[in-house]
Amino acid sequence: MMILEHLEKKKNILVVSHIQPDGDALGSMLAMGLFLEKLGKTVTMFNENQVPAIYRFLPQMHRIVQSYEDINKFDAAIILDCGDLKRIGEIYRVIEHIPLILNIDHHSTNTKFGHYQLINPDACATVEIIYHLIKEVGITIDLDIAYSIYTGILTDTGSFRFQNTNGDSFKIAMEMIELGVQPYLVASKVYDTYSLGRIKLLNMVLDSIELSANGKMSIMLLTSDMLKETGIKIEDVDGLINYAKQIEDVKVAALIQEISKNTGKQVNGSKGLFHVSLRSNGGLDVSSIALVHGGGGHKTAAGFSIESTLLDIKNEMFCISERL
């Protein structure tokens, strides 16, 4: 049975994706939401965080809201691009009031939450799975949906550079271009429209990079002070870790991001809440490291949150580097 058949008698549908949304989270919400509207559904597209500045060019992005009236009014929820339920943010506490939850995702570590799942780790992005659903139902892809699908593929493949890039990524992107998507417009908004503060922040995080003794792991730091100093919001920070990953001989890169600190003490010593992003060249499966800490992801890109000290996290990472 096709997953969307479960929605046949459902009218009011909540579409949601992960906190700090990236191009695939936003693209998949919009593509799925607009598609469901074509099927006659009433749709609310919800994300805990605001749409990052670089994605505000997406047609219909104003449809993505940060609040909803009443969780009980929804007949069904579709959760997109989330390896586990908590990735949707605080709404996870009440989402189970919704009688039907569909989980559509491409993370190999997906915990299979929800009533029905459509999980394809071979898909380069969640939008690829949605593209196939739309094709299966036989609905025409309009330009707004095409921009959403194209952007999800472009960003989740790192501009067709990451290991999840394959012929299908190009084929689908090509089809979206034939439907009217302008690649230059997307690229210029997503990659070449940074505020001065964002560039200064890049300078700070680049300056923070440390290498392990064997040179095979790089660690990059993003503190709340850096954000404060540059006036950059956390949702407007994405992709910094790729710089740490680009260093020659580096097999695994880690970005340690300070979410909150307990005291005003030196960040090095005090315990705080951190998010660790990991990237690998494929030799080491970083999702296994993330899983140990209750996170998840893919073989080459994963993440987890941890309450610890910066020093302890760094030490753990440098221990891992000895296995590389």
- Can you give the binding site for ligand 5GP, defined by CB under 6 A? 83-84, 87, 107, 277, 295-298, 301-305
Residue 63 makes CB contacts below 8 A (sequence gap 6+) with: 30, 33, 34, 45
- Quick one: 155 exposed, middle or buried, by C-beta within 10 A (0-12, 13-18, 19+)? buried
Residues 248 and 233: their CA atoms lie apart, in Å, by: 30
Q: Which of Mn ion, ligand 5GP, none does 24 bind, CB closer than 5 to 8 A by kind?
A: Mn ion
Residues 146 and 59: their CA atoms lie apart, in Å, by: 10
Nearest residue to ligand 5GP, by Cβ distance, number only: 303
Q: Which is nearer to ligand 5GP, 173 or 256 (CB)?
A: 256
Q: Which of ligand 5GP, Mn ion, none does 23 bind, CB closer than 5 to 8 A by kind?
A: none
**Using CB under 5 A, which residues numbered 19 to 58 contact Mn ion?**
24
Q: Which is nearer to Mn ion, 126 or 218 (CB)?
A: 126
**Rg of the chain's alpha carbons, rounded to an integer?**
20
Q: Which of Mn ion, ligand 5GP, none does 212 bind, CB closer than 5 to 8 A by kind?
A: none
Q: Tell me how far, at minimum, the Cβ of 306 lies from ligand 5GP, in Å.
A: 9
Query: Do the Cβ atoms of 317 and 217 come closer than 8 Å?
Result: yes
Q: Tell me how far, at minimum, the Cβ of 177 lies from ligand 5GP, in Å.
A: 25
Q: Tell me how far, at minimum, the Cβ of 20 lies from ligand 5GP, in Å.
A: 7
Tokens 């009014």 belong to 73
Q: Tell me how far, at minimum, the Cβ of 244 lies from ligand 5GP, in Å.
A: 11
Q: Which is nearer to Mn ion, 17 or 212 (CB)?
A: 17
- Quick one: 228 exposed, middle or buried, by C-beta within 10 A (0-12, 13-18, 19+)? exposed
Phi and psi (nearest 5°) for 200? -65, -35
Q: Tell me how far, at minimum, the Cβ of 217 lies from ligand 5GP, in Å.
A: 15
Q: Which of Mn ion, ligand 5GP, none does 156 bind, CB closer than 5 to 8 A by kind?
A: Mn ion
Q: Tell me how far, at minimum, the Cβ of 195 lies from Mn ion, in Å.
A: 25
**Using CB under 5 A, which residues numbered 67 to 96 contact Mn ion?**
81
Q: Which is nearer to ligand 5GP, 23 or 296 (CB)?
A: 296
Q: Tell me how far, at minimum, the Cβ of 73 lies from ligand 5GP, in Å.
A: 28
Residue 80, SS3 per DSSP: strand
Q: Which of ligand 5GP, Mn ion, none does 297 bind, CB closer than 5 to 8 A by kind?
A: ligand 5GP
Retrieve residue 284's tokens.
């080491």
Select from 305, 252, 240 the least CA-distant residue to 280.
252
Kindly tell me the sign of the dihedral angle through the C-alpha atoms of 70, 71, 76, 79.
positive
Q: Which is nearer to ligand 5GP, 121 or 180 (CB)?
A: 121
**Using CB under 5 A, which residues numbered 126 to 155 contact Mn ion?**
126
Q: Which of Mn ion, ligand 5GP, none does 277 bind, CB closer than 5 to 8 A by kind?
A: ligand 5GP
Select from 231, 257, 228 the least CA-distant residue to 244.
257
Retrieve residue 122's tokens.
């071979």
Query: Do the Cβ atoms of 318 and 212 come closer than 8 Å?
Result: yes
* Interface contacts to Mn ion, rule CB under 5 A: 24, 81, 125-126, 156
